[in-house]
Structure 1
């Protein structure tokens, strides 16, 4: 009885923790994402209004600048909200592009196998051997910085993990009874792949994509901080960190608040990813 009681308590705690993860992650990402989505309506100037009289104004000194002002007298809160649009755009579009390309390649390689499978997987191995920062410097040096270049760079560097994940699932699923039955009915390979195999491989893909959105937001901020990301004239979290690094001691708010925005967004996405893993992948559930 005592053992059963402890098991029930453990299940209740795990369930409560998973619900907390979902609610907290959704609130963090939903709030920041919604503000970023409607930022063009809230701030038509894109956070570029300059007021040199308010230069490096500390937080809570004025209702007009609740989080303070940057070295050019621009409102930090406004630029954080506007900058979130860039981060979410890069994170979501790059993850969608990578998952689409990687899924198609993984389905093709895993289902047909043979020479095509070997060739694609060797190409994937070469891709994995390339350091990301070297690839980033090469692409930016050739094509120049920009939002579209960053998205393409992340798609090129991340499709491999989706392709390998899907291929592994397909190699297992293609020998299952329901796939064999579909073949015996004479269904075309394309219908078998997209109607029967792909739906059974979606769970791990969704989890990985959620976690990669968070990772891509960090990568975009890091590249922009290094001068390899979006145009410096566009408000972005990484650009705000780069602008404020020379004022870290005298005006801490210039870098701390954009850093907190990045941390809260990534934390929320990771919490949602953990919740999805617990619900879509029972074998990989979080243990308390």
Structure 2
């Protein structure tokens, strides 16, 4: 076999989350109250538009969560040896972006480097000029003045193809919606575009159209130009953005797996039992909150780094080392981020335990565990879901801040935070190298904004006071 699968711990967690999502979907489909709540989410146009954007980020993250090592050339009969470099399916699909490196900085859609160099020009002698890029605009040859026209023509042609593909998606969606239409009703595609369907198909399709009109021309041009420019070592910034998506998703999702059981368990126990149990849990999260979060995380990360550096035999590749540091960072963020949700659930539980049906259950001798599982927890789930989706965006931003101050993910792992950290010195150059920071900030802004809008839709659907 020409490759060897590499299973990282973060890959396992990512795909377990996918399976958990599928299982949750089955549970929701069999539970009428939950199904009704999620149907309200599906009817929210802003929520479905943001969910479509989030789905694109998740797809990129999943493609980057299947890793392998290529087999090295060897003599017949010898044991197969594999390369040290660990690649993913996304790396294979984005091979031109990964391999077409330049010497140093180049601006978006540029054909020459961003800095002048001394060059020997035949017939002219030694001159100081901007060198030609090895890959950016190479197909133009000497016609560098035609960049604008070439970009416009390629973008228009690919936008037309994207629109045709979207019409195909609209046709398939219309067939699906039209199967349940009554005789004499308007055509399904009209109902979809007017928003007369129970599910917000118009929001999904319009968002999909905008994404296709933007992304299809973008990736088509990425095969000919560096559409977001290159960094200090000549690596394509668009490739770095794609690689940062998985890191952001893991930081946001895996961290919630750590903080969720702690916050929910301690918050409900403190609010329901009160007394010395409540005092002890309040003391615990008050002490934890009294320590500056950045200092606590920095101390934990530095101790973890010492352990990793002391045991190099644990890792056969650099990817495994970076992966362990990423998971350790998720664990540290989870341990230090549960206090807010715990306090919120404690206060809500204090109110719920005084309601009549809870008092009646206690009077009839129902056990405390059964009351918590059957009555308390279901009435807190809307808070838990809203808090988790909101915390996702906060954790993505936290990773950016931590990597900016040098205590985030491993330096060999690409993330929005490391890109912003690397752009710190670029802003002091003359002329300013602005595109790395702008690209990382824009991608992170879109991800966080979509998560926040989706959280608003979930809040509106699950909050019983708004139902």
Q: Which protein, 1 or 2, shows the higher relative CO under an 8 Å CA cutoff with sep ≥ 6?
A: 1
Over alpha carbons, which structure has the higher Rg?
2
The two structures have a TM-score, normalised by structure 1, of: 0.84
Report matched runs for 1:40-59 at 5 Å: 40-44=88-92, 49=98, 52-53=101-102, 55-59=104-108
Q: Bigger shift: 230-239 or 127-136?
A: 127-136
The alignment partner of 1:235 has SS state of: coil
| 2:174 match | none
Higher helix proportion, which one? Answer: 1
The CA deviation at 1:103 is 0.4
| 1:212 match | 391
In 2, the alpha carbon distance for the partners of 1:101 and 1:69 equals 43
Report matched runs for 1:32-181 at 5 Å: 32-39=57-64, 40-44=88-92, 49=98, 52-53=101-102, 55-61=104-110, 62=136, 63-64=222-223, 65-144=226-305, 146-181=325-360
Q: Bigger shift: 25-34 or 125-134?
A: 25-34
In 2, the alpha carbon distance for the partners of 1:92 and 1:55 equals 35
1:256 aligns with 2:438: yes
In 1, the alpha carbon distance for the partners of 2:54 and 2:271 equals 35
Q: Is the 8 A contact 1:46 1:82 kept in 2?
A: no
The CA deviation at 1:54 is 5.0
| Total equivalences in the alignment | 269
Q: Is the 8 A contact 1:59 1:68 kept in 2?
A: yes
In 2, the alpha carbon distance for the partners of 1:54 and 1:67 equals 16
| 1:8 match | none
1:23 aligns with 2:23: no
In 2, the alpha carbon distance for the partners of 1:115 and 1:32 equals 45
In 1, the alpha carbon distance for the partners of 2:45 and 2:104 equals 40
| 1:267 match | 449
In 2, the alpha carbon distance for the partners of 1:284 and 1:263 equals 28
| 1:5 match | none
The 4+ residue runs of structure 1 with deviation greater than 6 A are 45-48
The CA deviation at 1:66 is 2.7
Gapped regions of structure 2 (runs ≥ 5): 1-39, 65-87, 111-135, 137-221, 307-324
Q: Is the 8 A contact 2:352 2:358 kept in 1?
A: yes
Q: Is the 8 A contact 2:297 2:336 kept in 1?
A: no
In 1, the alpha carbon distance for the partners of 2:277 and 2:328 equals 29
| 1:11 match | none
| 2:402 match | 223
The alignment partner of 1:72 has SS state of: coil
Q: Is the 8 A contact 1:96 1:209 kept in 2?
A: no
In 1, the alpha carbon distance for the partners of 2:462 and 2:292 equals 31
Q: Is the 8 A contact 2:405 2:421 kept in 1?
A: yes
Deviations 1:31-61 (A, max 9, x none): 2222222133121599894655353232234
Higher strand proportion, which one? Answer: 2
The two structures have a TM-score, normalised by structure 2, of: 0.53
The CA deviation at 1:282 is 5.7
Gapped regions of structure 1 (runs ≥ 5): 1-14
| 1:276 match | 458
